[in-house]
Amino acid sequence: MIIDCDPGHDDALALLLAVGDPRLRVRGVTTVAGNQTLDKTTRNALRMLALAGVTDVPVAAGCDRPLVGTLSVAEQIHGASGLDGPDLDGPTAEVADVHAVELTRRLLLDSAEPVTLVALGPLTNVALLLRRHPKVTPRVRRVVFMGGSTGRGNTTPYGEFNIVTDPEAADIVLRSGLPTTMIGLNVTHQALATAEVIAEFRGMGTRVGTVCAELMTFFASAYERVFGLPHPPVHDPIAIATVIDAAIVRTVAAPVAVELAGAHTRGATVVDLHGTTGREPNVDVAVGIDVDAFWGLLMAAVRRVGGA
């Protein structure tokens, strides 16, 4: 897989899951502006890979703003650094000297088999790849993205952060014809970092486990302050988990459109679960999640990365 991300507390755990599960091969990590500015999300991706002791995965920075309009970061959720909470060490590796889209193109061409793209932030880099390099599109096995919702949003009443940040990019990806899986808020809000979850991370007795506990403690306080939710949803690792084990989520094929023009709903994912639009399904939409199985995968990976 190739992971496109904007770390971000939940992106950080997603990276640990991806590098910690023995069934996955992470060919590259690319970064995008979203939760924080591009320089910060890139530094954070490098810091998480350094924490995990991963030295052989290239990291490339991508787009520093959405395709249209200006960037609005989620500092109230992820802090000034994008990964506030733990006292993380700096990166040990350099960022690649190619753009994220170019690194992705090369990795797709180099791979003997199709590669899954997992997008954990705004879909800007993925959309640009599809527009600039349509010939490599068949080498993408599937796009699995965390974003959208079958119901309400978290950034506007009906808009989820990753889609609201770059609706045009999401529209391009969803209309690309590629096999696509949507991991939306309707499932991610079932996997919550409770006090027990945080205690389990801390109880591992490793540096990686402690960092996870500190990340989730900060994330919890932000969610409490902003949304009045005591336990934060751990969004992004669920997208990685579904690549490890498709049974983690239950999906239905449905037509999904991105609202680009709504006076109050720009960036909303309009999910037609009952076939009322008569459109062809274009997305496998996650509608259910095996929460226990998800935590089992994530905890095992964090233990493995930490050497517990």
> Under a CB-based contact definition with an 8 Å cutoff, are residues 192 and 36 in contact?
no
Query: Which of residues 80 and 109 has its CB atom nearest to ligand BDR in the complex?
Result: 80
The residue (of 36 and 139) whose beta carbon lies closer to ligand BDR is 36
The DSSP line for the chain is: -EEEE---HHHHHHHHHHHH-TT----EEEE-SSSS-HHHHHHHHHHHHHHHT--SS-EEE--SS-SSS-----HHHHTTTSS-SS-PPPPSSPPPSS-HHHHHHHHHHH-SS-EEEEE-S-SHHHHHHHHH-GGGGGGEEEEEEE---SS--SSBTTB-HHHHH-HHHHHHHHTS-S-EEEE-HHHHTTSB--HHHHHHHHHT-SHHHHHHHHHHHHHHHHHHHHH--SS-B--HHHHHHHHH-GGGEEEEEE-EEE-SS-TTTTTBEEE-TT--S-PPP-EEEEEEE-HHHHHHHHHHHHHHHHT-
| 133 catalytic per annotation | no
Count of residues that bind ligand BDR according to CB under 6 A: 15
Q: Is 162 in the site for ligand BDR (CB under 6 A)?
A: yes
35 binds ligand BDR (CB under 6 A): yes
By CB under 6 A, tell whether 236 contacts ligand BDR: yes
CB 275, min distance to Ca ion, A? 31
Q: Rule CB under 5 A: which residues touch Ca ion?
A: 6, 8, 11, 120-121, 236
Residue 181 CB, nearest approach to ligand BDR (Å): 15
Residue 154 contacts which entry, ligand BDR, Ca ion, none (Cβ below 5-8 A, type-dependent)? ligand BDR
Q: Which does 31 bind (CB under 5 to 8 A by kind): ligand BDR, Ca ion, none?
A: none
- Least gap, CB of 34 to Ca ion (angstroms): 6
Q: Of residues 61, 74, 83, 100, which one binds ligand BDR by CB under 6 A?
A: 74
First CA to last CA distance, the chain: 25
> From the candidates 99, 133, 235, 274, which is the catalytic residue?
235
By the rule CB under 6 A, 285 interacts with ligand BDR: no
- Smallest distance, ligand BDR to C-beta of residue 152, A: 12
Q: How far is the CB of 205 from Ca ion (least distance, A)?
A: 28
Give me the phi and psi of 284, to 5 degrees please: -85, 110
User: Which residue's C-beta sits nearest to ligand BDR?
Assistant: 161
* Residue with Cβ nearer Ca ion (147 or 255): 147
The only residue of 44, 235, 249, 272 in contact with ligand BDR, by rule CB under 6 A: 235
Q: Which residues bind ligand BDR (CB under 6 A)?
A: 8, 10-11, 35, 74, 77, 120-121, 146, 154, 160-162, 235-236
Residues forming the active site:
235
